[in-house]
């Protein structure tokens, strides 16, 4: 049996609002581009809950137990807005790091997102070029969309790859720090029941994917890394093909930290999306 994480009750924490999904019967959807005329961007209705979010800095969390892990690794990248530099310098750095932390044989990078929080409020029904922190509890893949994404990205070898363990792991890094504004909260995967996940269609212009959004459960244990620095990376397990008790999904969300100083600079971050293969 896998070791349990220490109880969080005595740990430093903040109490903050997270946006869960309100229970609903219809199929959920979200347009990733401007929705068709007369359609909302999403039909989700959210259930705001005040929850304790605990300091995880000395928790010793691991990818295979809690579904997240902090790792310090400086980068040689000078300009994160230079896509050529990212591919030349950052991608190999992250591939080596994921292989080391996850203990896998092969790492494929297929996407990245830079997020910069705006200083003024925006209309949630308007899709903007500048990606913003996601303020809802979600997980990036489902039991269906994880294998399908492997088929999409590795069509010539997917069926062989799907016979062995694979995982989708996001690597999150601040572009400046320490991060005080809208940090990232991650739920301990051990505390989230599978019944808390609700499938949501992600409607792209050329395909329909799936993610999980999450309904409230008081058993959830939430953590964050206060004051993350640009030399630090946070690994998030978004899907794992193992079903033996290893963490499969780590729901996460940005949140408005009530202790953030009023003059704190807006959060800037980059997340690299990878697939880890063990065979």
The answer to whether the CB of 201 falls within 8 A of the CB of 27 is yes
What are the residues whose beta carbons fall under 8 Å from the beta carbon of 92, sequence distance 6 or more?
Answer: none
Q: How many CB atoms lie within 10 A of CB 143?
A: 16
Q: Who wins on pLDDT, 219 or 6?
A: 219
Mind listing the pLDDT tens digit for each residue in 166-196?
999 999 999 998 999 999 999 999 999 999 9
pLDDT category of residue 11 using cuts at 50, 70 and 90: confident
pTM: 0.91
Task: Give 128-172 pLDDT, tens digit per residue.
Answer: 345 789 999 999 999 999 999 999 999 999 999 999 999 999 999
3-class SS of residue 11: coil
């Amino acid at each position: 049996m896998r070791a349990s994480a220490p109880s969080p009750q005595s740990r430093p924490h903040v109490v903050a609002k997270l946006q869960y999904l309100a229970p609903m019967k219809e199929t959920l959807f979200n347009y990733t581009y401007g929705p068709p005329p007369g359609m909302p961007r999403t039909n989700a209705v959210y259930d705001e809950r005040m929850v304790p979010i605990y300091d995880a800095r000395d928790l010793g969390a691991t990818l295979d137990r809690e579904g997240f892990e902090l790792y310090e690794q400086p980068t040689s990248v000078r300009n994160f807005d230079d896509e050529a530099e990212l591919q030349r310098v950052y991608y190999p750095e992250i591939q080596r790091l994921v292989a080391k932390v996850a203990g896998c044989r092969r790492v494929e990078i297929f996407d990245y997102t830079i997020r910069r929080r705006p200083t003024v409020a925006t209309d949630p029904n308007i899709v903007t070029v500048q990606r913003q922190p996601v303020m809802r509890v979600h997980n990036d893949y489902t039991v269906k969309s994880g294998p399908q994404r492997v088929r999409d990205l590795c069509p010539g070898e997917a069926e062989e790859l799907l016979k062995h363990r694979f995982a989708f792991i996001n690597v999150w890094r601040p572009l400046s720090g320490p991060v005080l504004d809208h940090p990232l909260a991650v739920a301990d995967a051990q505390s989230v029941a599978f019944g808390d996940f609700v499938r949501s269609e992600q409607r792209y212009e050329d395909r329909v994917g799936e993610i999980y959004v999450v309904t409230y459960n008081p058993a959830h244990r939430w953590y964050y890394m206060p004051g993350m620095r640009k030399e630090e990376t946070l690994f998030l397990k978004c899907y794992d093909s193992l079903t033996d008790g290893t963490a499969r999904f780590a729901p996460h969300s940005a949140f408005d930290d009530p202790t953030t100083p009023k003059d704190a600079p807006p959060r800037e971050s980059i997340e690299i999306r990878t697939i880890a293969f063990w065979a």
